[in-house]
Amino acid sequence: MQRKIFPALVGLLLLLAGAGAAWWFLEGRHVRSTDNAYLEADMAVIAPKIAGYVVEVAVTDNQAVRKGDLLVRIDDSDFRAAYARADAEVERVRLATGAAKATVEAVRSSIVESEAELRAAQAEVLRARADLDRAEELLKRGFATRALIDERRAALSTAEARMSERRAGIAAAEANRTAASGTAESESAALKAAVAQREAAALDLANTALRSPIDGVVGNRSARVGQYARVGQQLMVVVPVEQAYLVANFKETQISGMVAGQPVVIRLDSYPDTPLRGRIVSFSPASGSRFSVIPPENATGNFTRVVQRLPVRIEIERPLPQGVRLVPGLSARVSVDMRDRPS
């Protein structure tokens, strides 16, 4: 009996070994798999840009939210007052700017008027000089008196003095215009600064309401009413579970021949009997160890060769099977049949 059992066991082992070898040759050698794979999502960390006391928390733990929904409101009384002050300053500077521009226009008008008066004075000088020349000619012929000559010379001197006065007035007006223009430019710059300050105050006021930047589910909520929130402090996280994807860390010896778009089979540890389909989206530009907090430095010390792993991003096909829920952090096993090519 024992003589028959032993050959049967050997035959069975040979049969199993042959079946295994046949499976590896036909299927196994074409499939590359890893259980170092996890669900990920581009989570949005909600943190305030301004500091203040929390007066409202509009969401609860694990609540689904849409993009733009209110999450947290910070006390805005100080920021409203700051905006009111900035708005009043804009109005004050705008009025000052208008007054400065009006002054420039008034000085410009006075210069035009003075230039007209200067031309009239120049014409008066020409007329007075001509009268003096005629009077001197008449005096030579004996038809005029010395008193007339003196009178004509006095009139010429008066006209010349008036012309000099008009020129001095124009010079003073030009100086006033330069000063007024400088004041107007300064007020214009102050107006721009005041408007920028008001926009900053308006932005701070708007930032008192923290809204969801994406569709997702609220998680890790630490915000509480009455809490003092600091700038950049994490108050909660919004997880876009509907856009969850998979990161599979394949060995460096497995990635040869893999290309973007190649189909993959995914089995989540939480749903082992429900395989999912996916496609390779992209490959990391460096191995996982290069992105670690302390990257290995193999050029110094004792060297130990370790097989590196390359993160591969995989998109999961939708719609998902009934009852399957993707949660970032879940573990998975990923298989790639190298005979499958991108469609």
DSSP per-residue string spanning 250-302:
EETTT-TT--TT-EEEEEETTSTTS-EEEEEEEE-SS-GGGGSSS---TTSS-
pLDDT tens digits, residue range 22-74? Answer: 655 556 567 888 999 999 999 999 999 999 999 999 999 999 999 999 999 99
Do residues 71 and 59 touch, judged by C-beta distance below 8 A?
yes
Per the CATH hierarchy, to which homologous superfamily does domain 77-206 belong?
A: Helix Hairpins (1.10.287.620)
What span, in angstroms and rounded, lies between the C-alpha atoms of 180 and 174?
A: 10
How many CB atoms are closer than 10 A to CB 250? Answer: 22
Which residue numbers in the chain have pLDDT < 50?
Answer: none
Helices (DSSP H) in the chain: which residue ranges?
A: 2-26, 77-141, 146-206
Q: What is the pLDDT of residue 82?
A: 94
Q: What is the DSSP letter of 144?
A: S
Q: Fold identical between 32-44+239-337 and 77-206?
A: no
Give me the CATH topology for the region 32-44+239-337.
Elongation Factor Tu (Ef-tu); domain 3 (2.40.30)
Q: What is the pLDDT of residue 223?
A: 94
Instruction: List the domain boundaries for the chain.
Output: 32-44+239-337, 52-76+214-236, 77-206
